[in-house]
Amino acid sequence: MSHYDENGNVSMVEVSEKSDTLRTASAQAFIELSDKIIRLIKENGLKKGNPLEIARIAGIMAAKKTQDLIPLCHQLMLTKVDVQTELKDNGVQLISVVSCIGKTGVEMEALTAVSVAALTIYDMCKAVDKRMTIGNIGLLTKSGGKSGDFVR
């Protein structure tokens, strides 16, 4: 499969001949936060509210909009999107799980979910400290389709 046609032009991959199978992917991201932000989150002291819950919602919404954000992604009928947040000593660990029954995988949806969730935490905390760092974004697992499973 290629994102190029016979003339070298960019094109969406043709998947209509592929079988519908259960496709699942999970991804992670981490946002490093200052001690002050972590304390404010624990105390529910941020003026914009609880960034962890808002980030979960933002990540779910982002997964559902991936085809609008990433060129050449297929529009998928997602059957599950979950984003979990865990406050750590130095930041927030984000993990998404996305599923669908379809002809192509949901890796980009899972990665988009954690990326936007991390950006949302940044947005909600930037008034306190702009020195946050988003990183460790990566695919954790992928299953479904002919290509087999992937586990990081």
Residue 13: band (very low, low, confident or very high) from pLDDT cuts 50, 70, 90: confident
For residue 17, CA distances in Å to 1, 36, 127, 147 come to 12, 53, 50, 15
Assessment of whether the complete model's pTM goes beyond 0.85: yes
Question: Rounded mean pLDDT of 76-99?
Answer: 98
Higher pLDDT: 33 or 11? It is 33
Q: pLDDT value at position 147? A: 65
CA distance 38 to 14: 46
Q: Are 76 and 102 in contact (CB under 8 A)?
A: yes
pLDDT, position 149: 76
| Residue 139, pLDDT above cutoff 60 | yes
pLDDT value of residue 146? 72
pLDDT in tens, 33-60: 999 999 999 999 999 999 999 999 999 9
Q: Using 50, 70 and 90 to split pLDDT, how confident is the model at 6?
A: confident
Inform me whether the pLDDT recorded for 1 exceeds 80: no
- pLDDT digit string (tens) for 106-131? 999 999 999 999 999 999 999 999 99
d(Cα 63, Cα 51) in Å, to the nearest integer?
Answer: 18
Q: Which residues are catalytic?
A: 123
For domain 21-142, which CATH number applies: 1.10.1660.10, 3.30.70.640, 3.40.50.10320, 2.60.40.3950?
Answer: 3.30.70.640
Mean pLDDT of the chain: 94
